[in-house]
Structure 1
C-alpha cells in the first residue's frame, strides 16, 4: 500500500479505515479459529473446553518474546519508512526475521523439559491434566514456526501491506477448521482423534501460514542477501530494537501471566470451579468478537504513529491517536449493543451446557461494560508501541494487573462473593483504572522522545 504521511493527513479517517478494515477481517478469521476450537472442545466435554482456555493462555506465555520482537519490528520498520530510509527498513526486516527463527527455537528448547511442571503451577484440576499435557507438548513443537508467523505478519503491517497478513490468516483459518472438524470429531473420513485432533489442527494450520509468509517475503525480495546486514550495522541498529522489544516482552509476560494467575484464582474457587473455568473460556471467545477487531485499531495506531514520528511530525501523530480512539469506540460500542441483544443464543453455540452458558453470560455482562475503557487502553498502548515508548506500557500494565486486578479478584472472588462474579467485577474495575492512566500518559507525557531521530539514524546506519 503506497501512502505517505501527507496523503494520510489530507484524509485521516479514510486512512485509518483503509488500514484497519483488512486487519479487522484478519481478526475475524482469527476469532473463527478460536470459536471452532472451543466449539469442538465443547462437543468433547467440559474438561476439554476448560483445557482449551488454559492452554491458550499458556501458549501465549511462550510467545511473549516473539510478540516483543514483532512490536519492535513495527516501531523500527515503520519509523524508518516514514523517514525515507528504505535500506534501513529492509535491513530491519532481515534482522527481525533472524531473531524470530533463533528465539523461537531457543524458547522451545528451554520450555520443553519444564512443560509438565507448568501444569502444577497453574493448579490444573486432575480431571483436565491428561488433556493439558498433550496440548502443551504439541504447541511447544510449533513454537519456532509460530514465532516466524507472528514476526512476518508484523513486518508486513509495518510496511502497510495489511492484506498479506489477512491472506495468511485465511489459510490458517480454513485449514484449522477442516482439521478441527475432521480430526477432532472424525468427520469426512478423517480419523477421530478427539482432543488430540484439536491440537494437531493448530499445529498444521499455523505451520501452513508461516510457510506462506516466508514465500511472500522471499518473492518480494525481503529475504535476499542485502536484507541481512553486516555485523557493524547490526551492532548500531540492534540497541533500538532491544530498547523497544524488552519492555514490550516483559509487558506481554506481565499481561499473560496475569491471565494465567486469573485462571488459577478461578480454578481454586471453593464452588463450581470447573464450570467457572469453562464459562470464562467461552466468554473470552465471545468477547473476542469485539476485542479482536479492537486489536486491528491497536495495530493501526502503531503503524500510523510510527510513520509520522519517522517523518518528524509528532503533533500529527498525537492527533491520529485520538482519531483512532474515537473511531474505535464508536464502531465497537455499536457492535456491542447489537451483539448483546442475542448474547445467550450466540454464546450457547460454543457453551451448550446450561450451567456453563449462565456463567459465560455473567462474565460477558461485566466485561462488555468495560468496552470503552478496554479500548482506551488498547489504542493508547498501540500508539505508544509505534513510538517505541513500550516502557510506559510496561509500568502501567504491571501496576494495574498485579497491583490492582489480581489482589482484588482474589479478595472479591474468594472472600466476598465466594464465586466467579467477584472475579468478573475486579476485571471491570481494573480496566477503568488502567484506561485512565493510559489516557493520561498519552495526553500529557513526552512519549515522542522514545522514537528514532531521522538524522541520527541516517548518519549511523542507513
Structure 2
C-alpha cells in the first residue's frame, strides 16, 4: 500500500479498513494456531494439554523484548516514511533486523543453561516435568527465529505492507496444523512423535514464516548491504528505538503480571473459587475472539499516526485516532450484541458444565459491557505507540491495573460480595477509569513531542 498521507486524508475510512482487514485475518489465523495446538494436545492427554498451555504463557516472557522492539520499529520506520526520509527508513529496517537477531541470541544464551531452573520456579508438577523439559528446550532454540518473525512483521506493518504479515501467518498456520496433526498424531504417514511432534511443529512453522519474511526483505532491497547503515549512524539512531521500546516492554510485563495476580485473587475467593477460575478461563477464550479485531485496529492506529507525525501533520494524526476509535467501537459493539444472542450455546462448547457455564457468561456480561472502554484503551494505546509516546502507556496501565483494578477486585470480591461477581465488576470499573485517563491523554496532552520527526519534511544530516 503506497498511499501518501494526502491520499489517506482523502479516503480516511477506506484507508483504515484497507489497513485493518488483513490484520484482522492475521489475528484469526493466530487464533487458529492456538486452537489446533490445544485440540491436538487434548487428544494426547491432560498432562500434554496442561504443558502446552503453560509453555505458551511462559513463552510470553521470552518474547516481551521482541514485542517491545517491534513497537519501536513501527514508530521509527513509519515516521521516517511519513517524512519522506526513505534512506532513514531503510536503515532503520536493517538496524531493527540486526537488533532482533542479537537480542534473540542473547535471550537464548541466557535462558538455555537455566531452563530446568525456570521449570522449578514455575512449580511444574512432577507428572508434567518430562513434557515441559522437552518443550522448553525446543522453544528456547526457537527464540532467535521467533524474534525475527515478530520484528520483520512489524517492519512490514510500518511500511503499510499489511498483506505480507498475513501471508506469513497463513504459512505459519498451515505448517503448524500439518505438523500438529502429522507429527503429533501420526496422520498422513508422518512419524507419530506425540508431544515431541507438537514442539517441532511449532518450531517448523515459525521458522517457515521467518524465512518467508527474510526472503521478501532481501528481494525488496531492504536487507541489501548498502541499506545497512554505518556504525556511527546506528549509534545515533538506536537511542530513539530504545526510548520507545523499554516502556513498551515494561508495560507488557505490568499488564501480564496484573492478569496473573487477578487469577490469584480469583483462585483465593472464599467460596466457589474453582468454578470462578474455570468460568474466567472459559470467558477469556470467548472474549479473545472479540478482541482479535481490536488488536488489528490497535496496530492500524500505530501505523497511521506514525506516518502522519512523520509528515508533520499532528492534527490530522489526532483526527485519525478518533476515526479509528469510533469505527472500532461501532464494529465490535454490533459484533458483541450479535454474539450475546447466542452466548450460552457458544460458551457451552468450551464450558459444558452448567455452573461453569453460568460463571463464564457472568464474566462475559461485565466484560462485554466494558467493550467501549477496552477499545478506547487499546486504540489510544496503539496511537501513542505510533507516536513513540509509550511512556504514557506505561504509566496509565501501571496506575490503573495495580492502583485500581487489583485492589478493587480484592475488595469487591473478597470483602464486599464474597464472589467472583465483585472481581468482574472491578474489571469493568477499572476499564472505565483507564479509558478515561488515556482518552484525556490523547485529547489534551502533548504526546506529539515524542515523535522523532519534529517538523514537516525536516531532514537531518544523518538520514
- Structure 1 and Structure 2 fold alike (TM over 0.5): yes
Relative to structure 1, the CA distance from residue 38 to residue 461 in structure 2 (aligned partners, 3 Å threshold; closer, same or farther) is same
Specify the alignment match of 2:226 in structure 1: 226
Q: Displacement of 1:4 after TM fit?
A: 0.3
Decide which moves more: 178-187 or 240-249: 178-187
Specify the alignment match of 2:323 in structure 1: 323
Specify the alignment match of 1:17 in structure 2: 17
Give, in whole Å, the separation in 2 of the partners of 1:268 and 1:46: 24
Specify the alignment match of 1:102 in structure 2: 102
Q: Displacement of 1:211 after TM fit?
A: 1.2
Q: Displacement of 1:270 after TM fit?
A: 6.2
Q: Secondary structure at the match of 2:442?
A: helix
Relative to structure 1, the CA distance from residue 263 to residue 175 in structure 2 (aligned partners, 3 Å threshold; closer, same or farther) is farther
Deviations 1:36-77 (A, max 9, x none): 223334445566555544433321122111011100010000
Show structure 2 runs of 5+ residues with no match: none
TM-score normalised per structure 2: 0.91
TM-score normalised per structure 1: 0.91
- Is this contact kept in 2: 1:305–1:320, CA < 8 A? yes
Computed over aligned residues only, the root mean square deviation of the Cα atoms, in angstroms, reads 2.6
Give, in whole Å, the separation in 2 of the partners of 1:429 and 1:120: 36
Give, in whole Å, the separation in 2 of the partners of 1:377 and 1:269: 28
Q: Secondary structure at the match of 1:312?
A: coil
Q: Displacement of 1:369 after TM fit?
A: 2.1
Specify the alignment match of 1:396 in structure 2: 396
- Is this contact kept in 1: 2:100–2:151, CA < 8 A? yes
Deviations 1:142-184 (A, max 9, x none): 1111111110000000000000000000111112222223344
Give, in whole Å, the separation in 2 of the partners of 1:274 and 1:134: 29
Q: Does 1:235 align with 2:230?
A: no
Relative to structure 1, the CA distance from residue 383 to residue 398 in structure 2 (aligned partners, 3 Å threshold; closer, same or farther) is same
Give, in whole Å, the separation in 2 of the partners of 1:157 and 1:284: 27
Q: Does 1:310 align with 2:294?
A: no
Give, in whole Å, the separation in 2 of the partners of 1:359 and 1:131: 32
Relative to structure 1, the CA distance from residue 209 to residue 351 in structure 2 (aligned partners, 3 Å threshold; closer, same or farther) is farther
Specify the alignment match of 1:216 in structure 2: 216
Give, in whole Å, the separation in 2 of the partners of 1:423 and 1:181: 39
Q: Secondary structure at the match of 1:307?
A: helix
Give, in whole Å, the separation in 2 of the partners of 1:192 and 1:275: 36
Relative to structure 1, the CA distance from residue 55 to residue 405 in structure 2 (aligned partners, 3 Å threshold; closer, same or farther) is farther
Q: Displacement of 1:291 after TM fit?
A: 0.8
Give, in whole Å, the separation in 1 of the partners of 2:159 and 2:355: 47
Q: Displacement of 1:433 after TM fit?
A: 1.6
Specify the alignment match of 2:246 in structure 1: 246
Q: Secondary structure at the match of 1:459?
A: coil
Relative to structure 1, the CA distance from residue 402 to residue 183 in structure 2 (aligned partners, 3 Å threshold; closer, same or farther) is farther
Specify the alignment match of 2:160 in structure 1: 160
- Is this contact kept in 2: 1:58–1:260, CA < 8 A? no
User: How do residues 279-290 of structure 1 correspond to structure 2 at under 5 angstroms?
Assistant: 279-290=279-290
- Is this contact kept in 2: 1:35–1:285, CA < 8 A? no
Q: Secondary structure at the match of 2:229?
A: coil
Specify the alignment match of 2:202 in structure 1: 202
Specify the alignment match of 1:175 in structure 2: 175
Relative to structure 1, the CA distance from residue 4 to residue 28 in structure 2 (aligned partners, 3 Å threshold; closer, same or farther) is same
Deviations 1:6-33 (A, max 9, x none): 1111111111111111111111111211
- Is this contact kept in 1: 2:101–2:148, CA < 8 A? yes
Decide which moves more: 23-32 or 104-113: 104-113
Decide which moves more: 405-414 or 392-401: 405-414
- Is this contact kept in 2: 1:298–1:378, CA < 8 A? yes
Decide which moves more: 84-93 or 200-209: 200-209
User: How do residues 331-370 of structure 1 correspond to structure 2 at under 5 angstroms?
Assistant: 331-351=331-351, 357-370=357-370
- Is this contact kept in 2: 1:396–1:434, CA < 8 A? yes
- Is this contact kept in 1: 2:91–2:229, CA < 8 A? yes
Give, in whole Å, the separation in 2 of the partners of 1:159 and 1:64: 22
How many residues matched?
462
Q: Secondary structure at the match of 1:286?
A: helix
Give, in whole Å, the separation in 2 of the partners of 1:252 and 1:330: 27
Deviations 1:244-270 (A, max 9, x none): 111111112212222333344445556
Show structure 1 runs of 5+ residues with no match: none
Give, in whole Å, the separation in 2 of the partners of 1:110 and 1:17: 42
